[in-house]
Structure 1
Amino acid sequence: MRLLRSGLLPLFALLCAASLLTGARQVAWVDILSLSDDAWLTLTASRLPRLAALVLTGVGLAVCGVVLQQILRNKFVEPATTGGLDAAKLGILVALTAAPGAGTGVRMLFALAFCLAASLLFVAIIRRVRARSTVLVPVIGLMYGGVLSAIAEFYAYRHNILQSMQGWLLGDFSRIVQGNYEILWLVLPIVALTYAYAHRFTVLGMGEGLATSLGLNYRATVLLGLLLVAVTVSATVITAGAIPFVGLVIPNLVALRHGDHLGRTLPAVALGGASLLLFCDILGRLVAYPYEVPIGLTAGGVGGLLFLGLIVWRRR
């Protein structure tokens, strides 16, 4: 009911319908309802898989952002500002050279291992530095991600796969068709598990001392949260590439309206992430029609503007 009152659910449904009808090939509802073979082939082989991938990626990245913000107690962190995306790309590059004939599952395991290790190291660095400034944590994360990105580029250059790496620098859903996105369905159990542990993640955001005094196993909960983030990030990067700002903007916008209790806000965060990604994808398909702008560019532009507006509004 809260989502209906906020207008988020109708907006999401409208964006889903627009996504199905938008593309280089014109598909009308009349053709779909009349069971046209061409329309149904386009819908089932391309449009519906792309819609599912967009929704799952948006939900996953938004939930990743809110979990990381609770773990690090900072509103300006997400996988792109903690080195997670860069570590996942490095893991995929290592998989391409260490196991060139491996499938998507093996590459995802490499990305998962690198992303989890990088996240654990980043948390250890922040605890060691004991950064109290709100801005210092994401700055450290950006520098950390820059180092990981440089290592990935050097590794790709040495193994002559730099061109393969360029495909992951910007998120792109134009290659999504039936049969090469199904690994993203892992996002659903991840979101369900995050919702089941929503109260614990909320307590986690109160700090180690208070969380421990309330009976929470702090280290185990942090490890669980980072594992959930690593699985989601590795699945999205290996399928669609690196997409920024979704996990940063949406949790902040939802928190301004509904607060920080994840048990109440997580559905809005998930739906908001999916809606933002759908809007950016539709924009990318229309701005240079019939050509397509990668969603990494549109998400970066729209997310950056939203974040700047959020900062200005908070200062006022």
Structure 2
Amino acid sequence: MRKSLPLLAAACGTAALVVTSLFVGGYDISLRTLLEDPDARDMFLISRVPRTLALVLSAAAMGVSGVIMQMLVQNRFVEPTTTGASEWAALGILLLALFAPAAPVLVRMGAASAFAFAGTMAFLGVLRRVWLRSSVVVPLVGIMLGSVVSALTLYLASGADLLQMLTTWRSGGFSGIVRGQYEPLWVVGLIVAGLYLAADRFTIAGLGKDVATNLGLRHERILLIGVSMVALATGVTTIVVGFVPFLGLVVPNLVSLLRGDDVRANLPWVVIGSVALMTLCDLIGRVVVFPLEIPASVILGAVGATLFIGMILRQRRTLHG
């Protein structure tokens, strides 16, 4: 029981942030207005609740996706935005907007996920053919591949006058999410549950093909399943929310630093930490320029990039110290 108290306390703190998010915004909503004002209740149910649920689900998905990618690649510095998966998902969305602009949301989700899957497999293919002396170079390879894809996406968008649409996808904000738009994110909630149940298999797969095979695990199949689930989570999150940078990189590393490398035991902490960080960044973005709003991805990108650089410098000192 005592071992679960820190997790319970962290969950309560995160829940407090989530509840705070429900009552912060340009439209003044309080418990009293919810009881007395029908318009406030409508605003709460149409906008605030969907926005907060989207925030929670996308944060959990990207945090857990980061853990799975790090296990499969055997590198602590990878996650969907440092492997190019998010950039490939954006390319898929753009191509669909060019050739099938009236496509339903399920088709857009499928296109984004398929391109994210292709991008992740391309990244893994490059890693298999390039000998890298430093683990820090691995995410740099992914970032470079993603930058090439991003440049192509920008070129196509500028030629088709879709730069504004592309910028909206990249914003990673929650201000435009209302009831009827966030529901696809329940799919990533199921993915998070599936990844948790299969965490032990992904851990074994992360030990390498030879070790996994000796333990009776089909390494290629587990790798394919893991990449597919991460690609689906990335594609759906990109469609509904936009880019969520560095979340799957920073939180798993901080949890591992504080608690060790027990993946299954760490996943609840990763989910709670990801939701807490995303909610905090979103609240900061809604408060600092109130009543305007800074997208959560901007705040998260600044925080995540700073922590990312700090982790690289820390590893360098460890290696040379």
Which residue does the alignment assign to 1:146? Answer: 147
Deviations 1:221-252 (A, max 9, x none): 11011001111001111111111010000100
- Cα offsets for 1:238-293 (capped at 9, x unmatched): 11111101000010011112222222111111111111111110010001011100
After TM superposition, give the deviation of residue 69 of structure 1 in Å. Answer: 0.4
Distance 2:30 2:44 in 1: 10
- Of the three residues 20, 31, 49, the one matched with 2:22 is 20
Counterpart residue number, 1:168: 169
Counterparts of 1:112-131 in structure 2 under 5 Å?
Answer: 112-131=113-132
Q: Which moved more, 1:158-167 or 1:15-24?
A: 158-167
Identity between Structure 1 and Structure 2 (%): 41
CA shift, 1:305, in A, is 3.1
Task: For 1:116, give the aligned amino acid.
Answer: F
Match of 2:97 in 1: 96
> Residue 173 of structure 1: SS of its match in structure 2?
coil
How many residues are treated as equivalent by the alignment? Answer: 315
Structure 1 residues 80 and 204 mapped into 2: Cα distance closer, same or farther (>3 Å)? same
> What is the SS of the residue equivalent to 2:81?
helix
What is the alpha-carbon distance in structure 1 between the residues aligned to residue 305 and residue 267 of structure 2?
Answer: 22
Contact preservation (8 Å) 1:201, 1:262:
no
Structure 1 residue 203, shift from structure 2 partner: 1.1
Which residue identity does 1:179 align to in structure 2?
A: G
Aligned residues of 2:71 and 2:203 also touching (Cα < 8 A): yes
**Where does the alignment leave 5 or more consecutive residues of structure 1 unmatched?**
none
Over the aligned positions, Cα root-mean-square deviation in angstroms equals 1.6
Between 1:232-241 and 1:304-313, the stretch displaced more is: 304-313
Counterpart check, 1:48 vs 2:15 = no
Counterpart of 1:307 in structure 2 is 308
What is the CA–CA distance in structure 1 between the aligned matches of 2:179 and 2:28, rounded to whole Å?
Answer: 19
Looking at structure 2, the residues matched to 212 and 160 of structure 1 have their Cα atoms a distance apart, in angstroms, of: 50
Structural mapping, 1:1-316, within 5 Å: 2=3, 4-6=5-7, 7-32=9-34, 34-311=35-312, 315=317
TM-score, with length taken from structure 2: 0.94
Amino acid of the structure 2 residue aligned with 1:10? C
Preserved contact between residue 136 and residue 312 of structure 2 (Cα < 8 Å): no
Say whether the 8 Å CA contact 1:85–1:233 is kept in structure 2.
yes
Structure 2: how far apart are the matches of 1:310 and 1:219? 30
Distance 1:309 1:139, change over 3 A: closer
Tell me which amino acid in the other structure corresponds to 1:274: V
Query: Which secondary structure does the structure 2 equivalent of 1:77 belong to?
Result: coil
CA distance in 1, matches of 2:36, 2:128: 59
Would the alpha carbon gap of residues 235 and 4 (structure 1) be closer, same or farther in structure 2, given more than 3 Å must change?
farther
Comparing 21-30 with 61-70, greater Cα deviation is found at 21-30
How many Å separate the matches in 2 of 1:313 and 1:123? 26
What TM-score results when the alignment is normalised by the length of structure 1?
0.95
Residues in 1 aligned to 2:65 and 2:33: alpha-carbon distance in whole angstroms: 38
Distance 1:11 1:306, change over 3 A: farther
Aligned partners of 1:195, 1:30: CA distance in 2, in Å? 39
